[in-house]
Chain A
């Protein structure tokens, strides 16, 4: 069964750091690009970051550029999001998401994790 499982969320003070993980199983992780998407409480979806299968291409949303770092370990079938200088507005559920079956040209996210909650508050 294809599965993405996020972990690492929690309560952190403004200015603090947190590292999220996404454990992948049921498919050849090293062959697929990955994304992080977040959703603030009661709000819509916001794409956060993208990493290609070999880590050669990385993109960030302007709202997190310079503060967040996406990475992956293909040997461990894991995706990470290092979040530094956290702000109140980073409070959200963070999902890892990917295109698995959908044709590559279309890129829609057909696989999502269950999400992990990050709360930034003093």
Chain B
């Protein structure tokens, strides 16, 4: 199975900060990577697919980059509604594994 490792696991930031989360795959996955946002008690929400394509309706302050084994999710200016947990997921092969998550909290 392909393993995904996110860093950091926890991030404390302020409104307006630029935030970057990294996801590393244990083997190459081309651009078959998605990013999700999850708030407490809610289902995950797709933010980005194909490593860098913004899902419809997602604010442009979110962006994704990378290919192969290293990927990043960037929030250009953190907003109050962005405090949540973020997961990467690889869709290169089954099982479609998730990273362990990165919790973004208010500083």
B-binding residues in A (CB < 8 A): 35, 44-47, 50, 59, 61-62, 95, 97, 101-103, 106-110, 112-115
Smallest CB separation, B97 vs chain A (Å): 7
B91 interface residue per 8 A CB criterion: yes
- A112 partner, pick from B43, B98, B99, beta carbons under 8 A: B43
**Residue contacts A-B, CB under 8 angstroms, 17 given:** A44-B98, A45-B36, A47-B96, A47-B97, A62-B95, A95-B43, A102-B55, A106-B53, A108-B46, A108-B89, A108-B91, A109-B36, A110-B46, A110-B55, A112-B43, A114-B43, A115-B43
Smallest CB separation, A48 vs chain B (Å): 9
Q: Which residues of B contact A114 (CB under 8 A)?
A: 43
Instruction: Determine if B44 and A45 form an interchain contact, defined as CB atoms under 8 angstroms apart.
Output: yes
Instruction: Assess A102 versus B49: contact at CB under 8 Å? Given A44-B87, A45-B98.
Output: yes
Helix, strand, loop or mixed for chain A's interface? loop
Q: Which residues of A contact B56 (CB under 8 A)?
A: 101
Instruction: Determine if B43 and A59 form an interchain contact, defined as CB atoms under 8 angstroms apart.
Output: no
Q: Which of B91, B100, B101 has the most CB of A within 10 A?
A: B91
Smallest CB separation, A56 vs chain B (Å): 15
Chain B interface size band reads: 20 to 34
Instruction: Determine if A108 and B49 form an interchain contact, defined as CB atoms under 8 angstroms apart.
Output: yes
Smallest CB separation, B2 vs chain A (Å): 12
**In the bound complex, how far is the Cα of B39 from the Cα of A115, in angstroms?**
13
Q: Which residues of B contact A50 (CB under 8 A)?
A: 94, 96
Instruction: Assess A113 versus B43: contact at CB under 8 Å? Given A45-B98, A47-B97.
Output: yes
B34 interface residue per 8 A CB criterion: yes
Q: Which residues of A contact B95 (CB under 8 A)?
A: 47, 59, 61-62
Q: Which residue of B lies closest to A63 (CB)?
A: B95
CB contacts under 8 Å to A, within B11-47, are 32, 34, 36, 38, 43-46
**In the bound complex, how far is the Cα of B94 from the Cα of A35, in angstroms?**
12
Q: Which residues of B contact A115 (CB under 8 A)?
A: 43
Q: Which residues of B contact A46 (CB under 8 A)?
A: 98
